[in-house]
A and B are shown apart, each in its own frame.
Chain A
Amino acid sequence: MKSTFYSALFAAVVTLILTCLMLGVNLKTEGIALTVSMASEGTWSMIIGAVLAVFLFQLFREKLADMINLPSLPSADHFIPEGKKGEKLKQLAISFVIAGMIIWPFFASRGAVDLATLTLIYIMLGLGLNIVVGLAGLLDLGYVAFYAVGAYTYALLSLYYDVSFWVALPICGALAALFGFLLGFPVLRLRGDYLAIVTLGFGEIIRILLNNWTEVTGGPNGISRIPKPDLFGLEFSRRASEGATTFHDFMGISYNSSHKVIFLYLLAVLLVIVTIYVINRLTRMPIGRAWEALREDDIACRSLGLNPTVIKLTAFTMGASFAGFAGCFFASRQGFISPESFVFIESAIILAIVVLGGMGSQLGVILAAIVLTVLPELAREFQEYRMLMFGLLMVFMMAWRPQGLVPMKRPHLELKTNE
């Protein structure tokens, strides 16, 4: 009874504050000045009436509810994020975010959507590298190599064999995974600094190979006119190529180049959602736990019958495959790729995303990817000081929050005991 009184009082106070602000006082412009004037007495008596009504209703709500069969109010513990309740709330929040991401590009500027697409690519890369570095604890400085493998796979397949984006996508992932697997072998015995150096070398080998194998890859000139992805055979160009239909013809609307940008953005959203889902599930599966165990203590792993070789190789393979998907998408979005896009600094940025976000934490990696791609754009007015600020930010982040933006949270597992 006491608690209903307090909640009724609280509701009344909230009503009072809200109505006072919205109805009780009026702002008027007189000349150039703004003056505040009180509302008429009639309004005030209405406000007081409303407050009283709210108070009384809240006070006797339970009784009223019994009388006329109102559904009773949810009790406070429904909102405490714990166990399944928290899970529901989380699902709701996630669906809102996804809905927001899907609706947003139709209202945003073309540049913003383009930037968002780039951010999404980095999110994918960050999440992929997070498997290798954050979960399995294997420092990989050549991650961009797998990204390059994915991008060049699609570019070359479309150039020589006219393979469409959707067919190439799984091939790119698989080929990058294969490269990850191949890299995994020589570095099995290495760890820490040595591993970092070998992966760094691997990244450079791939880039230099692409740069010098001119007959196939076009060398420094890169590959241009890589086709954009289509939507079930509908193209997003002004004029359809032979035997194809364009999106705007099919829908009966006039051509607008922003359709393509939005489509690419939505495609990136889809890829990122799939990535997040897959990795999220992996971390809750035995293999995900084994990755983390390997990071924590590989000797203990061995003593418990886990084969470190297999675990390392799966981490490299899985991590690389996501870079392959991202690379494929990147190539089709840019329409042009050259070895310039896959230099070491890219690896460093992706690694910075993982470390800045918080090793192993998906949410952290997503936030860090947003920060690291959007911030340099926002800071354009500082011109050449931009990269300096970027570096400073990283230094301060690491000094103050070495665990990252959003440190990884351990999953809470419910135990059922037979008692």
Chain B
Amino acid sequence: MSKALLEVSGLCMRFGGLLAVNNVSLSVHEKEIVSVIGPNGAGKTTVFNCISGFYAPTQGTILFDGEEVQGMKGHKISRKGMVRTFQHVRLFKEMTVIENLLVAQHRQLNTNLLAGFFKTPSYRRAEREAMERAAYWLKKVNLLEFANREAGNLAYGQQRRLEIARCMVTQPRLLMLDEPAAGLNPNETKELDELICYLRDEHDVSVLLIEHDMSLVMGISDSIVVINQGTPLASGTPAEIRDNPDVIKAYLGEA
């Protein structure tokens, strides 16, 4: 096994009297797809928010590529190569598809004001590369023909794909997807499945996934972490999770 890219241990998140996340640990290795599952309100998204820097966790350590990142600001964490999507689509709706992808590459672009005014060669080169990268990813997610359409006018499935493309142009090492299949039809879910596998195989990204669609989760995950009411319930390979009596109980209630 290669070394862990993301190592979360003993993660706790407390909101006043509510312990939303209690002692969750998980690890994601290079080129691995890890899923976090659990009933609604189990604290999956809170775990995500802690890892991606939107919340400062109350306790625990988060190591990304060997570096402690807990409590760091969200934009700093994402610059390290850990990019996330959201449960609800969060596109820049009034901007065009291509602009969405250019904004995401802000860090790679030459943001020097003077360079921009005088269109220095390095500025032009950075802009051109950004456009090429954007075009590449638009083609990958089948949105090339919509490049100049406003993002808010795309169909829901397309918006979901654009969100993933927008993450990918930042050239992340870990992609965190929060319920990417929510609201997609079976066909679209299948395409998403293929896309995620493609990202791992061809672009060497690791994926941390929150998902309710069990067929998707079981099909693509290398390992699964189950959370129930903020506490870790089980973790293991899809086959182990499928047969775990505790998991079945949590999902289906007491037999």
List residues of chain A with CB under 8 Å of any chain B CB: 278, 281-282, 285-287, 289-290, 292-293, 296-297, 299-308, 410-413, 415-417
Contact = CB atoms under 8 A, between A and B. Distances in A.
B74 interface: yes
A415 B132 CA distance: 8
Which are the 9 A-B pairs with shortest beta-carbon distances?
Answer: A296-B92, A285-B116, A300-B90, A302-B74, A305-B78, A305-B79, A293-B103, A286-B109, A415-B135
B126 to A, nearest CB: 9
Contact of A415 (B90, B94, B138): B138
B74 A286 contact: no
- Name which of A305, A411, A415 has the most chain B CB atoms within 10 A of its CB: A305
A417 B103 contact: no
Interface string B87-100: 00011111110110
A285 B120 CA distance: 12
B54 A287 contact: no
Contacts of B59: none
A415 B131 contact: yes
A355 to B, nearest CB: 16
B92 A417 contact: no
Contacts of B135: 415-417
B95 A416 contact: no
B134 A415 contact: yes
B147 to A, nearest CB: 5
B79 A281 contact: no
Contacts of A415: 98, 131, 134-135, 138, 144, 147
A305 B75 contact: yes
B98 A413 contact: yes
Nearest to B104: A304
B239 interface: no
Contact of A286 (B116, B139, B147): B116
B97 to A, nearest CB: 10
A301 B75 CA distance: 8
B146 to A, nearest CB: 11
A278 B114 CA distance: 11
Interface in B63-80: 73-76, 78-79
A127 to B, nearest CB: 17
B78 A300 contact: no
Nearest to B119: A281
B91 A302 contact: no
Contacts of B102: 286, 289
B103 A303 contact: no
A306 B103 CA distance: 9
A303 B96 contact: no
Contacts of B14: none
B86 A413 contact: no
A286 B110 contact: yes
Given A292-B95, A300-B91, 16 more contacts: A282-B113, A289-B95, A290-B103, A296-B91, A296-B94, A300-B86, A300-B90, A302-B53, A302-B78, A304-B75, A305-B76, A306-B103, A410-B150, A413-B131, A415-B131, A415-B134
Given A306-B103, A307-B75, A297 B92 contact: yes
B117 interface: yes
A293 B95 contact: yes
A43 to B, nearest CB: 55
A47 B148 CA distance: 51
A143 B75 CA distance: 29
A416 B52 contact: no
A413 B90 contact: no
A303 B111 CA distance: 18
B159 interface: no
A358 B139 CA distance: 33
A134 to B, nearest CB: 11
Scoring A287, A292, A300, A304 by chain B CB atoms within 10 A of each residue's CB, the highest score goes to A304
A35 B63 CA distance: 95
A277 to B, nearest CB: 9
Interface string B129-157: 00110110011000010011010000000
B107 interface: yes
9 contacts: A286-B102, A296-B91, A300-B86, A303-B54, A303-B78, A305-B106, A306-B103, A411-B96, A415-B135
B83 interface: yes
Contacts of A287: 111, 113, 116
A278 B117 CA distance: 8
Given A287-B113, A290-B103, A303-B52, A413 B147 contact: yes
A410 B54 contact: no
Nearest to A292: B95
Contacts of A281: 116-117
B160 interface: no
Given A416-B132, A417-B144, A292 B106 contact: no
Contacts of B147: 413, 415
Contacts of A302: 53-54, 73-75, 78
A278 B103 CA distance: 20
Contacts of B91: 296-297, 300
A281 B102 CA distance: 16
B158 to A, nearest CB: 17
A416 B128 CA distance: 9
A305 B107 contact: yes
Nearest to B132: A416
A138 to B, nearest CB: 16
A99 to B, nearest CB: 25
Contacts of B106: 286, 289-290, 304-306
B111 A286 contact: yes
Contact of A304 (B96, B139, B148, B170): B170
B73 to A, nearest CB: 8
A296 B106 CA distance: 16
Contacts of B131: 413, 415-416
B54 A299 contact: yes
A304 B78 contact: yes
B84 interface: yes
Q: Which of A281, A308, A413, A416 is packed against the most chain B CB atoms within 10 Å?
A: A413
